[in-house]
Amino acid sequence: MKLYLDFEPCQECNTLIKELSSPDMLFADAKTRNHESAKFLRHLTYNHNEVVQAVMEDLPKQKKDQEFDFFK
């Protein structure tokens, strides 16, 4: 999944992005890449509210009250 974000990255973001795009990371195993990606996403979630709000606005809205056929 690719996600394009328009925000002003902080110094830690720049460091994490540089690590994620390094040749070592590009050829690392899937477990290592997933761990580093999760670390970056946690950083975005906890430190950049504007990113979270933008993602939430773009996600499809889910029905709160889903009715199943047998209720009709």
Q: Quote the pTM value.
A: 0.66
Q: Would residue 39 count as lying in a domain?
A: yes
Cα–Cα distance for residue pair 14/56, rounded to 1 Å: 23
Residue 37 is part of which domain span? 11-56
CA atoms within 13 A on the CB side of 66: 4
Q: How many domains does the chain have?
A: 1
Q: Would residue 68 count as lying in a domain?
A: no
User: Helices 30-47 & 49-58, crossing angle to 10 degrees?
Assistant: 100
Q: Would residue 71 count as lying in a domain?
A: no
Q: Would residue 50 count as lying in a domain?
A: yes
Q: How many CB atoms lie within 10 A of CB 10?
A: 12
Q: Would residue 4 count as lying in a domain?
A: no
Q: Would residue 52 count as lying in a domain?
A: yes
- Which tens digits make up the pLDDT trace of 8-39? 899 999 999 999 999 999 899 999 999 999 99
Please answer whether residues 36 and 19 qualify as being in contact, where contact means their C-beta atoms are separated by less than 8 angstroms.
yes
Q: Would residue 47 count as lying in a domain?
A: yes
